[in-house]
Every structure is written in structure tokens, then in C-alpha cells.
Amino acid sequence: MRARAMGLTFALACALIWLSAPARAAPAAAPAIDGVLQAFNDHPLVAIGDNHVMAEEEAFYIALVRDPRFAASVQDIVVEFGAGGHQAIMDSYLNGEAVPYDQLRLTWSDTVGWIPTVNGTGYIAFFAAVRAVNMHLPPDKRVRVWLGQPPIDWSTIHSRAEQRPLSVGRDGYAVDLVEREIMAKGRKALLIWGQAHFADAGVFSPTLGPALRAAHPGSLYYVSPYFGFNEKACDAAFEDRAVHWPTPALIAPLKASATLKVMRRPGCTIDPGLAQDTKAMKPEQVAALRANDDHLAGVDADALLYLGKEATMTVSPVDPAFYLDGAYFKEMSRRNEIMIGKPLDWAGFVAANPPVVENFDAHIGRRSTRLH
């Protein structure tokens, strides 16, 4: 009996030690909207890395702003897919005023860094969704969307030399906007920006994420989206873990978690460049690809946004104006030539943007085309 009592006492002591030990937060998959809103409790800035023209991610932005809890706690959104020179037009539109379409289109078409311009219908629908939400809110509670691209007058731009300085330095414009309109006023904001702009190193100066982290340590919560691997076996291995997750889900904390270890398992890559033969590349090129691969995997992220299996990810349909408005297509072709040295080829453009839903990986050139 005494030995048994001593054993029970020892077991109880171990249990008490375990209970009193510092708790380690295990990664949890929460409904994604709940997770994003929860992040705002401790961070004035929540950023979602935009995987450009991924339809499911654009749909998530719309679902997020439609949730009544969003406008109740956050009234500012800063987006990369908007032209800052036309902020007044967007403000009027989001407040329910009648805005002629040819003017409204300037708010997403007169951007500096998109090649040749914003063309995913999901981004355009996002503005319409915010307007619809605002019509049910009093003026002082309405959501304001800040257009984060610097002003540009495309009618005066005729060469890459004239356009490039605005493009390379555009993150600085966004940083100043967030400082002035959000941080200085003690407000909260959702940031929707391309994933590369939250990496520690890149072609942009200053890069948006690191600049905000340096100025306001602990203020930025970064969410990285999952969109699959170059290797099908890696898709399957990761997605097996997601069988019981809600869809969409937010997995946090991500850093140093088992989930991140699965994302970075040997032999699994994400950057499309690593799907190619890297033997002919320079060492510094391979190093840059691997650094970006880590970023895309969420090594520097606070949470992972899971929108479903890689095979279900699709490309946002192209803005119909490219097909229906000849003058618009001609102007976008001119801008394309300025940016990358060649005009848009009509036949090639139509072939590259078929009137079907395209698998997202096919769009970014990682695998063979799969249509649904």
C-alpha cells in the first residue's frame, strides 16, 4: 500500500509540474475569418500576402469584408490593386455616390506596378462588395479602402525610364500612407499586398513589410497563403494534414511549428523557378530562389491561410474590358510595351486567357494545364 501511495504521490507531482510548466501554443486551424479578426486584437496591422489573380483568395477578401464583425472593429483597408491618384473617386464610390464607369475604372487601371494593369475580376468585385457593405452602415462606421499605388499620369509616360522610378519606389508610398492615415491616427487596417512585398529582401525599396516592422515592432501580423508545391507528392503530404481543417482556415502560430516543418520538408519546393533545372543558374540566382521559396512557405509569416487543395485553386477571370473595349486594350498594350518591352498580342492574349477556369499552378507555369 505504501509503495502504491508513493507511486500515486509521484504521479500527482509530475502532473502538477506539467500543469505549471509554461504552455506552448500548438498550431490550430481556426475558421479563417475568425482567425484574421482575432489577430486584430493584438495588432493594428494585419496583412494578407496576395498571390496575384488567385480567385479563391480574392473571394476570401470579399467574404471577410462582408462579415459584420469586420466593419465593427476595422474601418481601413490598404490595397496594392488601386491607383492612389484616384483616391477621391474611390471614396465617392464607396460612399454610395454615382460614379461614371470610365472614371471608376481609373482607380484600378492607372496603377504603377501591375503589368500592364490590374485585370482580375475578383479585385474589381472587391470594391463593389465594400460599397455594398457601406450602404448598410452609418457614415462614421463605413469601411475606407486606401489605394496604395503612387499617383501616375500615364498620358505623360512614354518610356521605361520614366515609369521605372515610380514602380521600384512604390512601397515607400504605401509605407508613408500607412504611417500617416493608420498608425498616426491610432487606427487598424487590413493590408492586401503581393507576397514579395513582405519578404525581408527584394527588388522594392523600402519593402513594405520590413519597413513597417522596423518602424513599429510587433504591429504587423502577416498571413501567407498556401497554393501548393512544385511536387505533387508534397501537395498530398501537406493536404493530408488539412482533412479535418475548416475551409478556409487560418493556421497559427506558424513559426517553428510542426505545420511549417511539413511545409519545408526536404524535396518540397514552391517557387516556380525551382521547378526548373537549376544547374545552369548562377549560385546567387539559386540562393535568391531558395530565399523566396522560404518566404512563400511562410517561414517569416505569423499564420498560414488555407483555402483548399492545390488542385482546386483557380485563376480569376480577366476583366472583360480587355475583350470588349478596343481603345482600352490598345492603351494597355502600350503600357505593356513600356514596362516589359513588347505590346500585347491580341491572339496571344486571348489564347493565354481562355474563357474557362484555369488551374492556378498552370497559370504560373509550374505544371501542365488543367481545366475545370
User: In the chain, what are the domain boundaries?
Assistant: 28-314
Q: Using the CB atoms, write b or e for 17-54: b if 16+ within 10 Å.
A: eeeeeeeeeebebbebbebbbbbbeebbbbbbbbbbbb
Helix, strand or coil, per DSSP, at residue 221: strand
Q: CA 207 to CA 110: how far, in whole Å?
A: 21
For residue 117, what are the contacts with CB-CB under 8 A and spacing of at least 6? 108, 109, 110, 111, 332, 335
> In CATH terms, is domain 28-314 a member of 1.10.3470?
no
DSSP labels for 61-123?
HHHHHHSHHHHHH--EEEEEEEEGGGHHHHHHHHTT----HHHHTHHHHS-SSSSS---BHHH
Helix, strand or coil, per DSSP, at residue 255: coil
Among candidate residues 261, 361, 360, the one with its CA nearest the CA of residue 304: 261
In the chain, the amino acid numbered 288 is: A
Among all chains, which residue has been given the C-alpha cell 521605361?
A: 160
Q: What is the pLDDT of residues 34-69, one digit of tens each?
A: 999 999 999 999 999 999 989 999 999 999 999 999
Q: What is the pLDDT of residues 241-259, one digit of tens each?
A: 999 999 999 999 998 899 9
Q: CA 143 to CA 134: how far, in whole Å?
A: 6
User: Are 89 and 107 in contact, with CB atoms under 8 Å apart?
Assistant: yes
Per-residue pLDDT of the chain (372 residues; tens, 9 = 90+): 444 444 434 444 444 333 343 444 556 899 999 999 999 999 999 999 999 989 999 999 999 999 999 999 999 999 999 999 999 999 999 999 999 999 999 999 999 999 999 999 999 999 999 999 999 999 999 999 999 999 999 999 999 999 999 998 899 999 999 999 999 999 999 999 999 999 986 555 568 999 999 999 999 999 999 999 999 999 999 999 999 999 999 999 998 899 999 999 999 999 999 988 888 899 999 999 999 999 999 999 999 999 999 999 999 999 999 999 999 999 999 999 999 999 999 888 888 776 666 788 877 776 533 322
Helix, strand or coil, per DSSP, at residue 360: helix
Helix, strand or coil, per DSSP, at residue 243: coil
